[in-house]
Amino acid sequence: MIRLLKFFGWSIVAVFCGLLLGLSGAFLYLSPGLPSVEALRSIQLQIPLRVYSSDNKLIAEFGEMRRTPIRFADIPPNFINALLSAEDDNFANHYGVDPSSLMRAATQLVKSGHIQSGGSTITMQVAKNFFLTSERSFSRKTTEILLALQIERQLTKDEILELYVNKIYLGNRAYGIEAAAQVYYGKSIRDISLAQMAMIAGLPKAPSRFNPLANPARSKERRDWILGRMYKLGKISEPDYTAAINEPLNASYHVPTPEVNAPYIAEMARAEMVGRYGSDAYTEGFRVTTTVPSNLQEMANTALHEGLMTYDQRHGYRGPESRLPGKTREAWASELTKQRTISSLEPAIVTQVDKNGLQVLTRTGEEHVAWDTMKWARPFLNTNSMGANPRQPSDVAQVGDLVRVQRQKDNSLKFSQIPQAQGALVSLDPQNGAIRSLVGGFAFEQSNYNRAMQAKRQPGSSFKPFVYSAALDNGYTAATLVNDAPIVFVDEYLDKVWRPKNDTNTFLGPIRLREALYKSRNLVSIRLLQAMGVGKTIDYITRFGFNKQDLPPNLSLALGTATLTPMEIATGWSTFANGGYKITPYIIDKIESRNGDTLFVANPPTVPQGGSATDGIAAPDAQSFTVNAAPVPGEAPGNAAVPQAPAVAERIVDGRTTYILNSMLQDVIKLGTGRRALAMGRSDIAGKTGTTNESKDAWFSGYNADYVTTVWTGFDQPESLGRREFGGTVALPIWMNYMSAALKDKPPHVQPEPEGLLSLRVDPVSGRAATPSTPGAYFELFKSEDTPPSVNELGNGTAPGSPLPADEQAPIDLF
């Protein structure tokens, strides 16, 4: 017996020595190729790109891996206990390798002939996750053991656990325990229950097999086993164990919920970040702060959505999206799962029609739609006509109709439909170009085409202020008379004739520029452009940032036949709002690293306070539009942004010109096509409507000194909005809705009056300086060098300041 014991004892010693020799040999053989454990201290885990509003509300998150690293000090002790109970209950005592676990794995290998478990400790898993592949081989396992031993020598237990819980994959694109808690419970790991912690602690072994969403039964079995281990090891009390075991498995899928609905803004920021950092933008944990306040963005969303739906319902009901009569309730419910909610419009299937309205099946169950919300739904015939008013709900819908409903604040449902017309809204700070809100269409989920940035459409009369600005800078005044009379242009070679006309097809004869602008007289704009010269005027207009190739080199330019985006129009209009300065729109205000280091701060050219109205006026060459064209300091992640000197915006128009033009555009609100905006009750707003031929595009651009906002409406494939639809009926109400909310409680804010202006009494008939006895005389603004002659000095020429002959109707060669 003694000999037998000695034999087993020496055998154990021999095996142990053999293991030591084997490990020593393996270390000598593999050590030259082992990675440096010190690299773990500076490891860069993949973290998604996050985009925020200017008031730090989440707009969007981009990246394949959902990960939010957490410090060890912030991990709840109960979770540490759950994890160690499940994965490595001897973690505190071993030095990276647990011999008992390895022996258990070896025994399983001998019995089954297959590697069933690797006997890995948490330290070994850290070595594998950070440095190795998942290959199952003895050489990989040996390397894993050697790395684990090195890790234990160089890192503390807390550091090892922190690396582990932030690296591991836990299913549903969640990497790390904080991301997993957010994905499965919508909470931080610090705020979930003991049972929920045990569920997450059970995932590292097999994220797919024990996933609570895909396999709830297996997940609960694994969770309960871990809770039992915790109780057996004395980590939790019996009451805690009992309560956790009895807690239902209440996991559900949570995606990062944006706090601000700004998908077009998010996409613009994402694209710019990829342009700066390439694919690293998705993995380096950048935090991007945009220039967009959440409240202004929500106002813009509401204004555009309500405006398009109001227009759409004004033209009637186009019928259900599809008809599903004779189907079972289960079939209807299945159909609803295939339909997306578009903006706030939910899909619903009509299950019953009665005199009080509709019973509809929504994703939440049976609900009622009141008849009062359906009375708008006259049958749509075309954009210019509709059928008779519906007399009862059955005139509108039938059982089996797939329709759209909109949930109201009291949770009731309103009958609706998805608009076919589209729109865009962009609002800028005219002092520095910061984008304050932007909506690129009715719904991003319907179409991610950003019409505010990409849709080149004809701006119509909303382009005329650029022609008038050129006139005011070339000797014309607001009191100059120009003939509003018919004119014909012919091309004798192509047998083409162009007879431009005013919207009302009337002619007013000689008319002051001020009145011509607020009445939007087309013939006056054409004569102005003709007198100044098309080429010279285009060279002037390009200073506002327009591309020359987008401006037609003929007299139709005066009517707004250029092809421009809403962003380009708003950018140009900013010069009118800020006193003559050029700004460049930008969307990213700040970029921070994963560690909170500031990598970039926007330094846009900004309108200076004070200064002469004519200082630094230049006429730069045409430039293409780019967002955030400022230089980018600190490109490489981890480099702090280099402070920059304040940039000053370039003055491109005489400040006196913009001041006079501003007063003329205010008259558009007071007396002209923008009179609806008087309902806002503000004295500081100015703007201009725009409507193209056959009402295919409807615009309104306007501003005060705080915001310049442009609204476009139309169909993606150009067609008429309707013969009674104009910029003042479709776009202006959207602009008013947004600007009323944006300027609420803000005092009037106008650009200061520059030096070098005179206010003189003028004869409204001749545009000349009035005498004390001139009837109807009014005060007009003039540059000091452009004061008009007296009535007695009238001449017969057609130079600026003189009336054109009323009978000027001779054909003129346009080409």
The 10 Å Cβ neighbour count of residue 426 is 30
Strand stretches in 695-770, DSSP E: 697-703, 708-714, 757-762
* Identified catalytic residue from 53, 61, 87, 343: 87
Residue 707 β-bridge partners: none
Contact 286, 593 (CB under 8 A): yes
Measured distance CA(33)–CA(55) in Å, rounded = 49
Three-state DSSP at 128 gives helix
- Quick one: 600 exposed, middle or buried, by C-beta within 10 A (0-12, 13-18, 19+)? buried
- Quick one: 56 exposed, middle or buried, by C-beta within 10 A (0-12, 13-18, 19+)? exposed
Amino acid at 286: F
Rounded to the nearest 5 percent, the helix, strand and coil shares of the chain are: 40, 20, 45
Q: What b/e readout covers 503-525, taking b as 16+ CB neighbours within 10 angstroms?
A: eeeebbebbbbbbbbbbbbbbbb
- How is 527-589 classified by DSSP, letter by letter? HHHHHH-HHHHHHHHGGGT--GGGS-SSGGGGGT-S-B-HHHHHHHHHHHHHTSEE---B-EE
Contacts (Cβ under 8 Å, ≥6 apart) of 575:
430, 544, 581, 582, 583, 652, 653, 658
* Identified catalytic residue from 344, 461, 462, 695: 461
Measured distance CA(418)–CA(421) in Å, rounded = 9
Measured distance CA(367)–CA(712) in Å, rounded = 36
Residue carrying structure tokens 């239902």? 248
Q: How many CA atoms lie within 13 A of 101 on its CB side?
A: 19
- Of 732, 724, 662, 664, nearest to 694 by C-alpha is 724
- Of 561, 575, 594, nearest to 69 by C-alpha is 594
Contact 524, 482 (CB under 8 A): yes
Token pair belonging to 10: 């020496």
Does the active-site annotation cover 719? no
**Cα–Cα distance list, 310 to 265, 305, 413, 793 (Å):** 25, 9, 17, 54
Angle at 536 between CA 535 and CA 538, to 5 degrees: 65
Token pair belonging to 449: 């085409």
- How is 354-389 classified by DSSP, letter by letter? ETTEEEEEETTEEEEEEGGGGTT-PBEEETTEE-PP
**Cα–Cα distance list, 790 to 734, 761, 769, 793, 803 (Å):** 44, 10, 5, 5, 14
Q: Using alpha carbons only, how large is the chain's radius of gyration in Å?
A: 36
Does the active-site annotation cover 87? yes
Active site residues: 87, 461
